[in-house]
């Protein structure tokens, strides 16, 4: 669902948070490289959008009202995510030039790395990090041919010639919308799942292949697809307001499970889990920046 037409812009929230931090509109304006009247006007516009007074102006500066303090706290959460995106983008664009070159698989790059890189970038300003997103086999290839210093992959198979470090786990789980009949049962036999039309990713995707392999191991055929979509997001939102289940990475729906907008269904005898590992060439010494990144992940 869209955010609505009169939602404040990131730039305005950013400016407002700066005002709160720096204690005056003028200083915040300077920090953002705009003229003071512009900043003043933006803040007033923001106040009208939100329908509340955020700052108490005085000739000696501006301090936030009670409402302002609260809104600033909320805005900071948004800005934190924005900085994470920025860090991720910079890593993306650095590509070949970085001091630390990371290759990561899809799921990790999408749901975990932004947070990790965001933290890391704030703690190591000035260090540049390059990020390449690929599938697991390509990640390993990049490590061997020297195109990357550190890799992140999800895999079940043993690794040769690579040192590794466990950084998390992922799991494929069945989920339905709260209105679905399964939502009250919370558990179904695997045969029922296999016989139910699912929303799925397209044939050939890692998620779908893992599911089909797990079913085949139980002598069950592949599930029929009632809807076949090209991205995890599309699958998720189709399940959110549709009435079909899907089997999807837990990481991709963690927020929805938390919020209760999707319900996890336990499937008896079906457990598809993958370790998330940091990997690097056994012989090459790990660059110092990589060591620090790994340290920051294990604290």
Among 31, 50, 61, 287, binds DNA (CB under 7 A): 61
**Beta carbon of residue 48, minimum distance to DNA (angstroms, whole number):** 10
Which residue lies nearer to DNA by CB, 11 or 179?
11
**Beta carbon of residue 86, minimum distance to its own copies (angstroms, whole number):** 7
Q: Which does 187 bind (CB under 5 to 8 A by kind): DNA, its own copies, none?
A: none
**Beta carbon of residue 210, minimum distance to its own copies (angstroms, whole number):** 18
Task: Map the footprint of DNA across residues 62-91, applying CB under 7 A.
Answer: 62
Which residue lies nearer to DNA by CB, 46 or 140?
46
Task: Map the footprint of DNA across residues 8-27, applying CB under 7 A.
Answer: 9, 11, 19, 24-27
- SS3 for the chain is CCCCCCCCCHHHHHHHHHHHHHCCHHHHHHHHCCCHHHHHHHHHHHHHHHCCCCEEEECCEEEECHHHHHHHHHHHHHHHHHHHHHHHHHHHHHCCCCCEEEEEEHHHHHHCHHHHHHHHHHHCCCCCEEEEEECHHHHHHHHHCCCCCEEEEEECCCCCCEEEEEEEEEEEEEEECCCCCHHHHCEEEHHHHHHCCEEEECCCCHHHHHHHHHHHHCCCCCCCEEEEECCHHHHHHHHHHCCCCEEEEHHHHHHHHHHCCCEEEEEECCCEEEEEEEEEECCCCCCHHHHHHHHHHHC
Task: Map the footprint of its own copies across residues 108-167, applying CB under 8 A.
Answer: 109-111, 114-115, 118-120, 122-123, 133-134
Interface contacts to DNA, rule CB under 7 A: 9, 11, 19, 24-27, 33-38, 40-45, 57-62
């Amino acid at each position: 669902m869209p955010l609505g037409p009169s939602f404040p812009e990131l730039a305005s929230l950013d400016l407002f948070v700066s005002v709160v931090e720096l204690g005056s509109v003028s200083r915040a304006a300077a920090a953002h490289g705009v003229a003071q009247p512009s900043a003043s006007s933006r803040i007033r516009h923001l106040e009208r959008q939100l329908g509340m007074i955020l700052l108490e102006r005085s000739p000696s500066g501006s301090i936030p009202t009670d409402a302002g303090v609260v809104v600033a706290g909320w805005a900071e959460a948004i800005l934190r995510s924005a900085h994470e995106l920025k860090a991720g983008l910079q890593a993306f664009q650095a590509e070949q030039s970085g001091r630390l070159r990371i290759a990561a698989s899809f799921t990790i790059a999408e749901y975990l790395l932004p947070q990790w890189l965001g933290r890391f970038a704030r703690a190591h300003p000035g260090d540049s990090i390059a990020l390449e997103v690929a599938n697991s086999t390509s990640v390993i290839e990049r490590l061997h041919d020297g195109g990357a210093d550190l890799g992140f992959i999800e895999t079940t198979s043993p690794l040769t010639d690579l040192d590794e470090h466990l950084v998390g786990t992922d799991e494929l789980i069945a989920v339905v919308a709260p209105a679905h009949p399964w939502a009250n049962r919370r558990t179904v036999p695997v045969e029922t799942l296999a016989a139910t039309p699912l929303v799925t990713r397209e044939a050939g995707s890692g998620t779908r292949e893992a599911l089909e392999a797990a079913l085949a191991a139980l002598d069950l055929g592949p599930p029929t697809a009632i809807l076949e979509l090209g991205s995890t997001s599309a699958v998720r939102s189709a399940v959110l307001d549709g009435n079909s289940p899907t089997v999807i990475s837990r990481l991709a729906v963690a927020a929805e499970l938390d919020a209760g907008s999707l319900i996890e269904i336990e499937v008896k005898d079906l457990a598809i889990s993958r370790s998330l590992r940091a990997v690097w060439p056994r012989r090459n010494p790990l660059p110092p920046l990589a060591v620090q990144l790994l340290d920051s992940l294990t604290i």
